[in-house]
């Protein structure tokens, strides 16, 4: 799956490719969908949530430009698959999920795989994780209409990067990357995407 569907589409960060190769996606999907675990498409979870398409997981991870020393905030733990990928390419991951059952299942899966550098919290992602800020990178796996200001506030000023799907219409969402510097915030539009909406607590 990785070489045929990910690398062939131009994603070439060797650390991201290795992270996908070393992370068993079947561990993060419901039993009924395990035969499709390596298809390049999103798969359903409970409550209308999904495990993101592997290409999009890889694209978003590569867009953060991680080198292995960073502290990353993830909004929307879901199954824990994206957090597991981030854990292989960053120093520490802080992940927030608004649905307690999903967070609990993700914690069990990550523990079973021996992933020890992910901290999980149940809560409203709009508030971020202020006591652990600033973060070198922030990644959202759910789409807000606009970027929550508190998440930008928790991004490191000297080059911190935020990658998120944005848009309240699922058919008109864009993946954006915001880079924060002392001069302000630079925005880039990267890709047309379709994500579940970001939920308020």
pLDDT higher at 9 or 106: 106
Query: Domains, the chain, ranges and CATH?
Result: 56-193 (3.40.50.150)
Q: Could you tell me the pLDDT band of residue 32, with boundaries at 50, 70 and 90?
A: confident
Q: What is the pLDDT of residues 110-134, one digit of tens each?
A: 999 999 999 999 999 999 999 999 9
Length reported for the chain: 201
Query: In the beta sheet, which residues pair with residue 121?
Result: 96
- The token pair at 111 is 């523990």
Is the pLDDT assigned to residue 37 strictly greater than 70?
no
pLDDT higher at 49 or 37: 49
Tell me the catalytic residues.
Answer: 52
- Residue percentage of the chain with pLDDT more than 90: 70
DSSP string, 117-137: SEEEEES-GGG--GGG--BSE
Is the pLDDT assigned to residue 97 strictly greater than 90?
yes
Measured N-to-C along each axis, helices 14-22 and 81-89 cross at an angle, to the nearest 10 degrees, of: 130
The separation between the first and the last C-alpha atoms of the chain, rounded to the nearest angstrom, is 36
- Residue percentage of the chain with pLDDT more than 70: 89
Contact 63, 163 (CB under 8 A): yes
Q: What is the CA radius of gyration of the chain?
A: 15
Q: What is the pLDDT of residues 61-73, one digit of tens each?
A: 999 999 999 999 9
């Amino acid at each position: 799956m990785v070489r045929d569907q990910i690398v062939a589409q131009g994603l070439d960060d060797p650390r991201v490719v290795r992270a996908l190769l070393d992370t068993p996606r079947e561990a993060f999907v419901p039993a009924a969908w395990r035969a499709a675990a390596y298809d390049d498409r999103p798969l359903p979870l409970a409550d209308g949530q999904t495990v993101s398409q592997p290409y999009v997981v890889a694209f978003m991870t590569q867009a953060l430009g991680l080198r292995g020393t960073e502290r990353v905030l993830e909004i929307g733990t879901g199954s824990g698959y994206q957090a597991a990928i981030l854990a292989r390419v960053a120093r520490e991951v802080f992940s927030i999920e608004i649905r307690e059952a999903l967070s609990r299942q993700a914690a069990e899966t990550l523990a079973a795989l021996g992933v020890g550098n992910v901290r999980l919290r149940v809560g409203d992602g709009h508030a971020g994780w202020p006591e652990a800020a600033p973060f070198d990178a922030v990644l959202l796996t759910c789409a807000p209409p606009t970027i929550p200001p508190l998440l930008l506030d928790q991004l490191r000023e000297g080059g911190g990067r935020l990658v998120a799907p944005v848009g309240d219409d699922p058919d008109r969402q864009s993946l954006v990357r915001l880079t924060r510097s002392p001069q302000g915030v630079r925005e880039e539009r990267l890709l047309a995407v379709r994500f579940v909406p970001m939920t308020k607590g």
